[in-house]
Amino acid sequence: MIKLNKNWAMDNDGICVTIFKHGILGKNSKTPGAESWKPVRYYNNYVEAMKGIVDLDISTCKSWEVMIDRLADLRADIERMLPNIPKPTPKNKALGL
Summarised one tens digit per residue, pLDDT across range 13-69 is 888 889 999 888 877 777 777 888 999 999 988 888 888 888 888 888 788 888 888
Number of domains in the chain: 1
Domain region containing 40: 2-26+33-90
From residue 16, alpha-carbon distances to 3, 13, 46, 48, 59 in Å are 16, 6, 9, 11, 23
Domain assignment present for residue 95? The answer is no
Check pLDDT > 60 for residue 96. no
Domain assignment present for residue 6? The answer is yes
Average pLDDT over residues 75-94: 71
pLDDT of the residue at 41: 92
**3-class DSSP state for residue 10?**
strand
**Rounded Cα–Cα distance for residues 31 and 25 (Å):** 7
Q: What is the pTM of this model?
A: 0.71
pLDDT of the residue at 21: 92
**Rounded Cα–Cα distance for residues 53 and 91 (Å):** 25
